[in-house]
Structure 1
Amino acid sequence: MTSPAPKISPIDAAARGEATALGAARAAELRAANINPRTGLATDYLNHFNEAIMLLEMIPDLPDCADDFLSWEPLSYAEHFRASNFKARDLAIQAYDEADPAIRGEFDGITTTMTSILTAVGDAMRKVRHDNSRAQLAIQATGWVKPLVAHAGGIINGADDEADVDRIMTA
């Protein structure tokens, strides 16, 4: 005797990629806007951190770039999109707000860490005036933040090895 298949809510079905017509239309809208439909996140936000990294990388060779880095200000996901020219900024903010709380929480944890590092480095650079000290701070910060940006990109893109294996095995 077999038991009936468990009922799956529309939300669970969409999360598993079993899109309804409405879910498929929403996924297509998100993809067209460069927002990952599985996570509800857009890589465009990482440009905010990549800008700071680029400025940090320039400091050892061009010490005057420290002033440019010191003008960098942290922005939340929503603040970044509100201030950007991103075509689908309202959709990006809405998708972020509707994203799975676990995914969004992991992502926010990484971006909070990056913001803390960059803010602390900026504070330290304001206290020291020697180009060599600022260059060392820039090199260290770059080494800390770059891997976090890559990790955040993995979260945005839905990098989940176990889910990928499951999807391949059921295909």
Structure 2
Amino acid sequence: MQCDDPVLGVGPLAADKLEQANINPKTGLATDYLNHFNEVVMLLEMLPAMPDCAEDVLDWAPLDYESHFEKSTFSDKQLAILAFHAAPVNLRTHLEQRVAQIDAAVTEAQDMLRKTPDPSLMADQIASLATNSIKPLISVASGVIHGHVEGEAIQLEGDEAQAEIDAMFA
């Protein structure tokens, strides 16, 4: 699916098509991306009971939004990528900033695992990092996907911004 200048709400990115694909029609972003992080958090939290999960944690690698969908089995992955390109720049930027924080926290947990001779020695501390640091960051990223940016409203661009202005004076 290719579109020269994708616009949310128009053509292949019509709101009903995005909703059917489980993509937020207002933001153009999909929560499916967060599955990449939820999986590693689950593994991190399982470490105290199952230290052998350490290998799977160490195998995890960061993926940006597009790479996640390119590699995923998400049925509408091309639509998700197209909608991402049409998403408001400030939302993409905020999401990428949250993702960088999540990636850094997971990398910290991985480094802790690499440095210990026995994963069970650090398992509780790593699980706590997952629960108390990484999960809240994922929640903030989810908020961004749903259009909630810390302390500011969604900034609309182009035709959407003009439509908002027109609606205020109608």
- TM-score w.r.t. the length of structure 2 is 0.77
Where does residue 6 of structure 1 map in the other structure? none
Contact 1:63 1:135 in 2 (8 A): no
**Which blocks of at least 5 consecutive residues in structure 2 are unaligned?**
1-6, 154-167
Rounded Cα–Cα distance in structure 2 between residues aligned with 1:145 and 1:42: 19
Q: Does 1:144 align with 2:114?
A: no
CA displacement 1:133-164 (0-9 Å, x = unmatched): 2331232233101011111111111236986x
38, 46, 63: which one aligns with 1:50? 38
Rounded Cα–Cα distance in structure 2 between residues aligned with 1:53 and 1:61: 14
Residue type of the partner of 1:103? L
Rounded Cα–Cα distance in structure 1 between residues aligned with 2:152 and 2:137: 21
* Count of paired positions: 148
Rounded Cα–Cα distance in structure 1 between residues aligned with 2:109 and 2:99: 15
CA displacement 1:96-131 (0-9 Å, x = unmatched): 112111111111100111011101211221111231
Map residues 55-94 of structure 1 onto 2, 5 A cutoff.
55-94=43-82
102, 105, 109: which one aligns with 1:117? 105
Rounded Cα–Cα distance in structure 1 between residues aligned with 2:127 and 2:79: 34
Residue type of the partner of 1:51? E
Rounded Cα–Cα distance in structure 1 between residues aligned with 2:56 and 2:152: 42
- TM-score w.r.t. the length of structure 1 is 0.77
Rounded Cα–Cα distance in structure 1 between residues aligned with 2:121 and 2:13: 54
Rounded Cα–Cα distance in structure 2 between residues aligned with 1:129 and 1:89: 40
Rounded Cα–Cα distance in structure 2 between residues aligned with 1:78 and 1:93: 6
**Which blocks of at least 5 consecutive residues in structure 1 are unaligned?**
1-13, 164-169
Residue type of the partner of 1:69? V
Where does residue 36 of structure 1 map in the other structure? 24
DSSP 3-state at the match of 1:108 = helix
Residue type of the partner of 1:113? Q
DSSP 3-state at the match of 1:73 = coil
Rounded Cα–Cα distance in structure 1 between residues aligned with 2:68 and 2:30: 11
Larger radius of gyration: 1
Contact 1:128 1:134 in 2 (8 A): no
146, 149, 161: which one aligns with 1:157? 146
Contact 1:70 1:122 in 2 (8 A): yes
What displacement does 1:24 show? 10
